[in-house]
Amino acid sequence: MTPHDDEDRGPSRRKVLECMTWAGTGVLWTVAGGVPASLGIIDEAIGAEQKGFTFLQISDSHIGFNKEENPNAPGTLQEAIDRVKALPGNPAFMIHTGDISHLSKPAQFDDAEKIISQARLDVHYVPGEHDLVDPEAGKLYRERYGRDTKGAGWYSFDANGVHFTGLVNVVNLKAGGLGNLGAEQLEWLEDDLKGRSASQPIVVFAHIPLWTVYPQWGWGTDDGAKALGYLKRFGSVTVLNGHIHQVMQKVEGNVTFHTARSTAFPQPVPGTAPSPGPMKVPADQLEKMLGIASVTFKQNEQRLAIIDTPLKS
């Protein structure tokens, strides 16, 4: 086929591509049957395309915990799931950032599943340190939640154009150290992200904060900076963590960090108590300090919108 033959039959491929680059001026072209057609202004065009989607984050349900700070952890988890079911719209799925159980006992995992399954949503889990204390150091967790995962339970998946990576930073912890990802998982992560377009939104979730929140209480990950280094080139990164049983958010460049409330018990703000354990609050305050989070991705918006909702306002 010679070029002048193409010209005779209407716009050449090159011409169509040139037209496509005009999308930036507010006109979007599409090609149907080889003939370009304008869709009108960008907003309408995008409205007609893929809409945003919402997923949820819950964390630290600690089923099996029954001390005075909250004698009824299953009850408050039930409240959280009732809230999930009452949300307007349809969340696409849930992410649980770990400490599902309190002591990795089969009955505790069973009870958690009975309650969480009432949401009727797919749930993507990563383990907390409380989920790996069975005599075989995590075998129970992996049997239940480890299908299609690697190593101690890491994995990735794509949903609605967003890439999700579940990491495990609660294994092989060293004396005096913080959370730990380890060389094998970091190699896997680097490989998993390789070749992805920098414009693909990435969500990373793990139990212990990947950033240094408060090292005196172990709230950080020793080799977290390495993982964040692999994520640096992406235009939109969201890091979701749990473990500290309170909301903390930080934005650094293209990265939004967020930790979720627990559904079981609150912990103190860093430095305001001698240690990071369960914090006793008046009974009418407890549910204001427990909660869930919704995360909404909107097309062409760099930052995902995160809304934290307590069990009681």
- Per CB under 8 A, residues contacting another protein are 67-69, 102-104, 129-130, 133, 135, 173-178, 215-218, 274-278
Q: Which is nearer to another protein, 165 or 246 (CB)?
A: 246
In order of 93, 149, 249, 299, 304, the CA distances from 53 in angstroms are 10, 25, 21, 9, 10
> What is the distance in angstroms between the CA of the first residue and the CA of the last residue of the chain?
69
Number of alpha helices (DSSP H) and beta strands (DSSP E) in the chain: 9, 13
Structure tokens at 273: 């108590």
Q: Which is nearer to another protein, 105 or 298 (CB)?
A: 105
Q: Which residue has the tokens 């369960």?
A: 278
Between vectors from CA 144 to CA 164 and to CA 291, what angle results, nearest 5°? Answer: 60
3-class DSSP state of 202: strand
In the complex, minimum distance from the CB of residue 236 to another protein, in angstroms, rounded to a whole number: 32
Tell me the angle at which helices 183-193 and 224-231 cross, rounded to the nearest 10 degrees: 10
In the complex, minimum distance from the CB of residue 209 to another protein, in angstroms, rounded to a whole number: 14
Q: Which residues pair with 170 in a beta bridge?
A: 180
In the complex, minimum distance from the CB of residue 277 to another protein, in angstroms, rounded to a whole number: 5
In the complex, minimum distance from the CB of residue 205 to another protein, in angstroms, rounded to a whole number: 20
Q: Which is nearer to another protein, 242 or 276 (CB)?
A: 276
Q: Where are the alpha helices (DSSP H) in 65-170?
A: 73-86, 106-116, 139-145
Distance CA(81)–CA(78), nearest Å, equals 5
Q: Which is nearer to another protein, 91 or 179 (CB)?
A: 179
Alpha carbon 46 to chain centroid, angstroms? 25
Q: Which is nearer to another protein, 36 or 268 (CB)?
A: 268
In the complex, minimum distance from the CB of residue 290 to another protein, in angstroms, rounded to a whole number: 16
Q: Which is nearer to another protein, 178 or 227 (CB)?
A: 178
In the complex, minimum distance from the CB of residue 44 to another protein, in angstroms, rounded to a whole number: 54
Instruction: Lay out the sheet containing 94-96: strands in order across.
Output: 123-125, 94-96, 53-58, 291-297, 305-310
Q: Which is nearer to another protein, 66 or 309 (CB)?
A: 66
In the complex, minimum distance from the CB of residue 104 to another protein, in angstroms, rounded to a whole number: 8
Element (H, E) at 264: none
